[in-house]
Structures are given as structure tokens and as C-alpha cells.
Amino acid sequence: MFDNFRGFLVNDLSIDLGTANTLIYVRDQGIVLNEPSVVAIRTDGRGEKRIEAVGIDAKRMLGRTPSHISTIRPLKDGVIADFTVTEKMLQHFIRKVQAKRLLRPMTRVLVCVPYGSTQVERRAIRESALNAGARKVYLVEEPVAAAIGAGIPIGEARGSMVLDIGGGTSEVAVISLNGIVYAASARIGGDRFDEAIINYVRRQYNMLIGESTAEMIKHKIGTAFPGHEVMELEVVGRHLSAGVPRSFTLNSNEVLDALQEPLSGIISAVKTALEQTPPELGSDVAERGIVLTGGGALLTDLDRLISEETGLPVIIADDPLTCVARGGGALLEMMDRKGGTSFAID
């Protein structure tokens, strides 16, 4: 009874404000929104700008817009690149997940931020959430939220390593006793994978492909470890010399070649984390293994690559894409039980 009444007055949201996708977890409802972090803006004749589309509708327009409409990805490398557009996007998403009522409930928002983000970047995220309609904003570091969402018992006096590969950043952290012992954030993620594919195609085939095509190639035939199956995909791009659209066939081994550079960046971040981890915790990690979360974990055989490079077991969390948002939701519930949490920062 009291919970229902409370739910009428207060609305708790956990937001994973990612470079590629924004996910919103609503308390007692689960993940209710998972849309690309893309905004399409229309500029009218007088130079005034207004939001044309947000999320999945805007992503469909990416690279296909006339001159008076521009599609923007307001987050870059896990942090806000365009403050105003981020604010509008958040506003849109929060309104979308809230039931239309006469009295708007008080919205408490927990936003996950990259570990390496600066005070200025965190403040930008906080302000942006407040301006989007939140009454209270909590910030939590992504590796902690990812670990909680994955179901790692981080309260134990044992080391657990989590590697969260998002769209803009990859975060690696060693956690014990509910605290981060070591964490690092590399500005490498799914976007860098796409860029690497675009560059490879331009270099090898003299063809130009768009971001959406590169992402599609990554999803369909992207792999991180050489397997015994070769997958092929027919791709259409613009020939740089002839200037006309042409199709060509790309196979998974070529995509693997293209992804070598960003993948080695992630591997070296993991190796550095293992080097910096105190020996007792290092042995715990060696025994338990590394838990992979984030959309990057869905890249075929990425766990195998990290396993081969580090010699440790690497396991992929259940539903890795939503771990951060679900972890944030669990923290919100804990806040209610205890009246606060030590995980929230600032």
C-alpha cells in the first residue's frame, strides 16, 4: 500500500547515458528504454533549431539527412560533447518512460558516469539531468554499476575484475569490499571499432562506407579471434576514385584485421590493470576470472581473445548490454533500504 503510494509520488530512474545507447531502468519495471543516443535537429529558414527526432528514429536518419537536418550524437567517449542537445535528449527519454499524469512524480535519477570522467564532465551530466526534469541526481561510477548489474558479489573480501566495453569507453576495474581497488578507463569502445572498419575499407578497397554500415558489418561478421569459419558480407559503398556506389564482399578475417588496433588497446588496459592489482586480489581474479559486460562483450570471441592474451578465464555476464542500467537500479533500491549509499559520488 505504502509502496504504491510512494510510487505515485516518487519515480526512481537509473540511466546508463552511453555514447552509443541510452538505457533507462525504472524501479519495479526493469529496463523500459533502450535507444541510440542520437538526436536529429531541424534548422528552419530563420536559423532556429528544433528537435526533429530522438533515439531510434534519429538513428535511422544518420547519414541520410538533407542540409537543413543534422543528426548529432551528443556524447563522445562516454562524456557530454553537446550539453544542450544531451539535455533535450534526456528530457525526451525521461518523459517517454514516465506515465502521463496530472501530477508529475518527483523524479530521482541515478546516472552512471565513466570512471575517468573529470569534475567538469560529471557536473555537465548532473546539470543536464536536473534540467531534463530530475529533482535529485546521483552519480555512480560505471564499473561499480556494471559489477552489481552482472551479479558479482562485490561486498566480499575477494577481488573481482570487471571489464565493461561500451560505445565510447572501456572500463576495467578490480573491486573488493564494495570499493574500487584499481580502475582505468580507456577511450576505446564500439565507436572505435566502427571507425577502424571504415578506415580499413577505405585503405584496402578504396571505398567509403558510413557509420551505420560499419556498425552493421561489426554486428554481422565482426570477430575478435580467428575461428575456423569465415563469414562473408556484401557491402555497398562509394568508390573513392570512380565516385559511384559499388558493392564488394568483406569477410570476417578482414574485419578481424581491421579491429586489431582498438582490440590491442583494450588488451593492454586489462594487462595494466592486472599489473597494478595487489597480489592477493590478483590471485582471486586469476581464480575467478574476468567478467565482461557492455555491448562490446557481444563481439564474437572477444572473451576468447582476452582469455588467450591474459591466460585467465573470461566470462560474459548475462545480458551484458543492460548490466550498467540494472546495477544502477539495484543501487537505487539499496538507497531506499538504507537511506543512502556509499557508492554514489560527488
Residue type, 141: E
Interface region with another protein, contact rule CB under 8 A, candidates 126-134, 152-160, 166-174, 262-270: 152-160
Task: In angstroms, give the least distance from the CB of 183 to another protein.
Answer: 16
Measured from the CB atom, is 50 or 337 closer to another protein?
A: 337
Q: Which of 9, 66, 120, 275 binds another protein (CB under 8 A)?
A: 9
∠ CA(305), CA(311), CA(315), 5° rounding? 60
Strand partners, 14: 25, 110
Q: What is the number of residues in the chain?
A: 346
* Alpha carbon distance 256, 247 (integer Å): 20
Residues 265-304 that bind another protein (CB under 8 A): 287-289, 291, 303
Interface region with another protein, contact rule CB under 8 A, candidates 12-20, 82-90, 173-181, 183-191: 173-181
- Answer yes or no whether residue 318 interacts with another protein by CB under 8 A: yes
Measured from the CB atom, is 199 or 204 closer to another protein?
A: 204
Burial class of residue 224, CB neighbours in 10 A (0-12, 13-18, 19+): buried
* Alpha carbon distance 87, 83 (integer Å): 6
Measured from the CB atom, is 131 or 341 closer to another protein?
A: 341
Task: In angstroms, give the least distance from the CB of 288 to another protein.
Answer: 5
Measured from the CB atom, is 239 or 288 closer to another protein?
A: 288
Starting at the edge strand found earlier in the chain, the sheet holding 10-17 runs: 30-36, 21-26, 10-17, 106-113, 136-141
- Answer yes or no whether residue 99 interacts with another protein by CB under 8 A: no
- Answer yes or no whether residue 193 interacts with another protein by CB under 8 A: no
Task: With CB under 8 A as the rule, give the number of residues binding another protein.
Answer: 51
Phi, psi (rounded to 5 degrees) for 282: -60, -40
- Answer yes or no whether residue 120 interacts with another protein by CB under 8 A: no
Task: In angstroms, give the least distance from the CB of 213 to another protein.
Answer: 18
Strands 39-43 and 69-72, sheet pairing: antiparallel
DSSP state of 168: S
Interface region with another protein, contact rule CB under 8 A, candidates 25-33, 41-49, 68-76, 269-277: 25-33
Task: In angstroms, give the least distance from the CB of 326 to another protein.
Answer: 9
Q: How many helices (H) and strands (E) does the chain have?
A: 12, 18
Say how many C-beta atoms besides its own lie within 10 A of residue 10's C-beta: 15
Residue type, 150: A
Task: Kindly list the residues in this chain that would bind another protein in the complex (CB under 8 A).
Answer: 5, 9, 31-35, 55-56, 96, 148, 150-155, 157, 177-179, 228-232, 253, 287-289, 291, 303, 307, 311-318, 330-331, 334, 338-344
